[in-house]
């Protein structure tokens, strides 16, 4: 079977079929990966020059960016050198950011190894790092030369990382594709996500990437439409920072909150919110959280805030999101009233 290409910003995304080899070779390239993957795939890493970053979200920092740049200089990397980012979302964001600023920008390829990275971090050219307890506050827009999505890399993925990935998959369906949401309802019958039929998983990957690309193609720099991809992220990011919870788990809770706000504002029916809740729960993701003042106040740090208002993403219906500018105090009130 051959690889399949999906429509994207520059037709640069390759979604490998289930029997494709992972034996890649890249000329004049430097691999950037994390310490966990360096142990799991030592033969792949040793093929060429590599830079290994400590595993974990703490490495998504200016300090790590500086380390990468120092190492690129030491390796003699020039404007013709290419970066190959091999890893999950942290590595993809960090490596792509470094590639974007090194010598004013060198080409880079992304090989995501987690489900979350395959459907989210690798798609769209947003490259951010964290700074001073602010998530993705420093970053660039810069598209990858190539993105290679190979589901064979998911074979070593822990159970919880499957769940983190499906939070973003559900989000993409909710904001852009009702039939895809129905497909997920039909095919996600329990939280054993890694046991999905490989062909079903391939379809889910392809559909998720296609839907995200369709949005990004229309608004690469997030001036308007692309904001809908932030559905569930306003409170998701706040929950992630406050509880030190995984990104996907936090986004799932943010989706629950945003869905309930959508009901409160008369946009979707309560039955729709229940369907969303049930799909998230069936995927093994959390659905209940005790909100407090600290979490609610932390939305004041959100990049989408403008003075005392915020562009909050709501559902007009399942499969269609809208950008609604809300007063922050009104949003806080909705949440405090027992969502």
Q: Convert 66-88 to b/e letters by CB count within 10 Å (16 or more is b).
A: ebbbebbeeeebeeebbbbbbbb
127 beta partners:
140
Query: What are the catalytic residues?
Result: 104, 126, 168, 212, 222, 226, 230, 233, 237, 247
CA atoms of 331 and 337, how far apart (whole Å): 10
Helices (H), 219-309: 233-243, 247-264, 270-282, 293-297
Nearest to 164 by CA among 54, 243, 280, 258: 280
Instruction: Name the residue with tokens 């499906």.
Output: 166
- Judge whether 129 and 97 are in contact, CB under 8 Å: yes
For 23, the token pair is 């034996």
Length of the chain: 339
The secondary structure element, H or E, covering residue 3 is none
Q: For residue 147, what are the β-bridge partners? A: 13, 110
Specify whether the CB–CB gap between 111 and 86 falls below 8 A: yes
Closest CA to 44 of 118, 157, 153: 153
Q: Which residues pair with 109 in a beta bridge?
A: 84, 146
Contact 117, 7 (CB under 8 A): no
What are φ and ψ of residue 47, in 5° steps? -65, -25
Alpha-carbon gap, residue 38 to 34, rounded angstroms: 6
Instruction: Tell me how far the alpha carbon of residue 23 is from its chain's centroid.
Output: 25
């Amino acid at each position: 079977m051959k690889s399949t290409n999906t429509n994207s910003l520059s037709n640069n995304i390759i979604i490998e079929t289930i029997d494709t080899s992972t034996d890649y070779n890249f000329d004049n390239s430097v691999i950037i990966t994390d310490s966990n993957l360096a142990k799991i795939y030592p033969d792949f890493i040793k093929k060429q020059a590599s830079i290994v970053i400590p595993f974990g979200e703490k490495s998504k920092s200016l300090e790590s960016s500086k380390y990468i740049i120092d190492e690129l200089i030491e390796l003699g990397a020039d404007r013709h050198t290419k970066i190959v980012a091999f890893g999950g979302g942290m590595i993809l964001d960090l490596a792509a950011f470094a590639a974007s600023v090194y010598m004013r920008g060198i080409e880079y390829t992304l090989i995501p190894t987690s489900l979350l990275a395959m459907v989210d971090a690798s798609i769209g050219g947003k490259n951010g790092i964290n700074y001073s307890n602010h998530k993705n506050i420093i970053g660039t827009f810069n598209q990858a030369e190539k993105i290679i999505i190979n589901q064979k890399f998911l074979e070593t993925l822990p159970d919880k990382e499957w769940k983190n990935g499906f939070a973003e998959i559900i989000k993409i369906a909710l904001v852009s594709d009702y039939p895809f949401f129905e497909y997920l309802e039909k095919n996600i019958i329990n939280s054993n996500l890694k046991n999905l039929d490989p062909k079903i998983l391939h379809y889910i990957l392809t559909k998720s990437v296609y839907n995200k690309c369709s949005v990004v193609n229309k608004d690469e720099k997030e001036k308007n439409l692309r904001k809908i991809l932030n559905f569930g992220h306003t409170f998701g990011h706040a929950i992630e920072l406050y509880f030190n919870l995984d990104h996907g788990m936090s986004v799932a809770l943010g989706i629950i909150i945003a869905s309930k706000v959508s009901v409160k504002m008369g946009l979707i029916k309560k039955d729709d919110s229940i369907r969303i809740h049930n799909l998230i729960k069936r995927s093994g993701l959390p659905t209940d959280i005790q909100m407090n003042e600290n979490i609610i106040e932390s939305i004041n740090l959100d990049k989408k805030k403008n003075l005392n208002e915020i562009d909050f993403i709501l559902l007009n219906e399942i499969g269609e999101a809208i950008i609604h500018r809300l007063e922050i105090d009104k949003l806080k009130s909705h949440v405090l009233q027992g969502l």
